[in-house]
Structure 1
Amino acid sequence: MQVSQTLQPIYSVFGDNPNLAELVEIFVSELPQRVETLQSHAEVEDWESLSRVAHQLNGNASSYGFPQLSTLAARIEYACRGENSSDEILRSLDNFVEQCELVRAGAAA
């Protein structure tokens, strides 16, 4: 039996904060470009650069109220710095990318 999982949009915990809404929107709008950068580093197996960008995203995602993205970015970073195979690193990246596709600006309904 296969379980059907409905993927829900991911909103910032600060989405309803008028003082941070614009910053959250900027972060969300720049996320596809950052994902592209991660994927470019992965394509050429530049694990050091991938780790560095993941580290930056870890902090940014946390700062803008996306703790789940922060955790996933940290996994990429640590996978790159450890003795993990490229397959393990790429799995961490794929998981991060999948979640990024669910990220939305604004507040949850």
Structure 2
Amino acid sequence: MQMSQTLQSVYSVYGDDPNLAELVEIFVSELPRRVETLQSHAEVEDWESFARVAHQINGNASSYGFPQLSTLAARIEYACRGSNSTKAILQSLDNFIEYCEQIRAGVPGKRIA
């Protein structure tokens, strides 16, 4: 029997903060473009640029209330800067992308206008 994996939505810890909610929304809306940038650097094995983008996402994710996303971005950066294999780096990227698919703006149970 094959089980279907249901992804849980992940919200910022600052999603209901009136001073940060709009910034969180912008961060979330830009996340797919950042993932594409990471994938582009990985395709050409530009690990320096790849690590730089992961570093930026790491800091931004933390600032906008996504601590687990920040941790996953840091893992990408460290995998890239260390002596890890391309396979290990790409696995870190896959884990990051899978988690990004769960990221949402706003707060659970509330729709964004």
Shared fold (TM-score, shorter chain, > 0.5): yes
Aligned ranges 1:63-102 → 2 under 5 Å: 63-102=63-102
Q: What residue identity is the alignment partner of 1:9?
A: S
Q: TM-score, normalised by structure 2?
A: 0.92
Query: What's the offset of the Cα at 1:3?
Result: 5.9
Per-residue Cα deviation, 1:13-60 (whole angstroms, up to 9, x for no partner): 001111100000000000000000000000001111100000000000
d(CA) in 1 for partners of 2:34 and 2:7? 22
Query: What's the offset of the Cα at 1:7?
Result: 1.5
- Provide the aligned length of Structure 1 versus Structure 2: 109
Query: What's the offset of the Cα at 1:108?
Result: 1.8
Q: Which moved more, 1:1-10 or 1:54-63?
A: 1-10
Q: What residue identity is the alignment partner of 1:79?
A: A
For the aligned residues, what is the CA RMSD? 1.1
Q: Does 1:9 align with 2:9?
A: yes
Per-residue Cα deviation, 1:36-93 (whole angstroms, up to 9, x for no partner): 0000000001111100000000000000000010000000000000000000000000
Query: What's the offset of the Cα at 1:4?
Result: 5.1
d(CA) in 1 for partners of 2:103 and 2:4? 20
Residue 37 of structure 1 corresponds to which residue in structure 2? 37
Kindly report structure 1 stretches of 4+ aligned residues shifted beyond 6 Å.
Answer: none
d(CA) in 2 for partners of 1:78 and 1:8? 26
Q: What residue identity is the alignment partner of 2:73?
A: A
Residue 59 of structure 1 corresponds to which residue in structure 2? 59
Gaps of 5+ in 1: none
Identity of aligned residues (%): 81
Q: TM-score, normalised by structure 1?
A: 0.95
d(CA) in 2 for partners of 1:58 and 1:98? 16
